[in-house]
Copies of this chain bind each other. A is one copy, B any other.
Amino acid sequence: MPTIHIVNETELRDLVHLDMTSVDVVEKGFIALASGKVQMPPIMHMEIPEFNGEMDAKSAYVPGFDCFAMKVSPGFFDNPKKGLPSLNGLMVLFSSETGVVRSVLLDNGYLTEIRTAAAGAVAAKHLAREAIEKAGVLGTGGQARYQIEALHLVRPFKSLTVWGRNKDNAKICADELGEKLNINVSVADTPDEAALHSDVLVAATPSKVPLITEEGLHPGLHITAMGSDAPYKTEIAADVTASVDRLVVDSLAQCIKQGELRTVTEAGLNYSAVELGQLCDGSEPGRQSDDEITLCDLTGTGVQDTVIATHAYDLVTKAGTGKAFES
């Protein structure tokens, strides 16, 4: 019987970090996705209305990677009332050659946070101006913070503007990030105000209505919109998405269904978008001038799950952590 490594969240947090290694691993995944050889089935989505819950499952086979992952993410939005986090879940790694279970990564969503933020860094690497001074973020949750830390890895900005629906939370988030990254921080009254004050803006909210309009646009702005991952969410006004100088998405199929391309399609607007992997492999250009306004829409792909889980498993086996288990 094969040996399976069972790894818990604490062990994973000790080994896997939001660093350039994780960013590089995720970029490799996007390059593979652009090759057309990745197998990535549609996201499995299930509602559990009785308990205000939902479950998403993602997977992808990436040629050249020893394993493929199945990532299961339950989201139960009444959990905070019960003293539990809304998001949970795990990743299971299977051998690409035999399908045998190699590892169960009980990460409670930690690896998803890392691979999602890492994708934001990949987008900024190709689309933000080379030197930026000012970043902005919409949203004050865990992923908003990870996104800003990831952005700082590739574009070490000096000041940050935070916008949140709750201004107190925005202040707390700004202060924490200011201390962590040793940068100046401020809080904006509106999303567009945050955009106006930013060279790079990350939208990291579950908003159901557009937050960024043409009022927030200015030459040189790059926006990474990573909040919309369901067919009822959107953060960017459809006319903005359709009219930016360079429009990039993680997955066309997913972004049309549940990303920012959905409202654009529904509005009947024309657009021209390429996939992020095409920038990573050089087949499409990234930013071409300091004046361009660019937008990258991220919905989160199974490829990112497979590559971060494989990376985590490599670190686990090298470190000799996790519990070996006979199946």
Which one of A229-237, A239-247, A319-327 is at the B interface? Answer: A319-327
Q: Choose among B53, B84, B92, B94 the residue that contacts A92 (Cβ–Cβ < 8 A).
A: B92
Which one of A20-28, A38-46, A201-209, A216-224 is at the B interface? Answer: A38-46
A272 adjacent to chain B (CB < 8 Å): no
A243 to B206, CA, bound (A): 51
A29 adjacent to chain B (CB < 8 Å): no
A118 to B42, CA, bound (A): 30
Q: Which residue of the partner chain B has the closest CB to A63?
A: B50
Most buried by B among A101, A323, A326: A101
A183 adjacent to chain B (CB < 8 Å): no
Scan A53-90; emit 1 where CB is below 8 A from any B CB, else 0: 10101011101000010101011100100101000111
Give min CB distance, A217 to chain B, whole Å. Answer: 38
In the complex the two chains form, is B70's CB within 8 Å of A72's CB? yes
In the complex the two chains form, is B9's CB within 8 Å of A1's CB? yes
Give min CB distance, A131 to chain B, whole Å. Answer: 42
In the complex the two chains form, is B50's CB within 8 Å of A79's CB? no
In the complex the two chains form, is B39's CB within 8 Å of A325's CB? no
Number of copies: 2
A253 adjacent to chain B (CB < 8 Å): no
Residues of B near A76 (CB, < 8 A) are: 97-99
Most buried by B among A8, A45, A47, A99: A99
Residues of B near A63 (CB, < 8 A) are: 50
Give min CB distance, A41 to chain B, whole Å. Answer: 5
Q: How many residues of A contact B (CB 8 A)?
A: 51
Give min CB distance, A44 to chain B, whole Å. Answer: 5
In the complex the two chains form, is A106's CB within 8 Å of B53's CB? no
In the complex the two chains form, is A72's CB within 8 Å of B92's CB? yes
Q: Which residue of the partner chain B has the closest CB to A97?
A: B51
In the complex the two chains form, is A8's CB within 8 Å of B68's CB? no
A6 adjacent to chain B (CB < 8 Å): yes
Residues of B near A169 (CB, < 8 A) are: none
**Given the contacts A47-B39, A88-B101, A74 and B55 also touching, CB distance less than 8 Å:** no
In the complex the two chains form, is B72's CB within 8 Å of A98's CB? no
**Given the contacts A39-B46, A75-B99, A57 and B55 also touching, CB distance less than 8 Å:** no
A196 to B88, CA, bound (A): 53
In the complex the two chains form, is A57's CB within 8 Å of B70's CB? yes
A63 to B50, CA, bound (A): 8
A100 adjacent to chain B (CB < 8 Å): yes
Given contacts A39-B46, A84-B100, A92-B92, 13 further A-B pairs with CB under 8 A are A1-B8, A1-B9, A6-B325, A50-B63, A53-B98, A55-B59, A84-B98, A88-B101, A89-B99, A90-B92, A90-B101, A106-B325, A323-B325
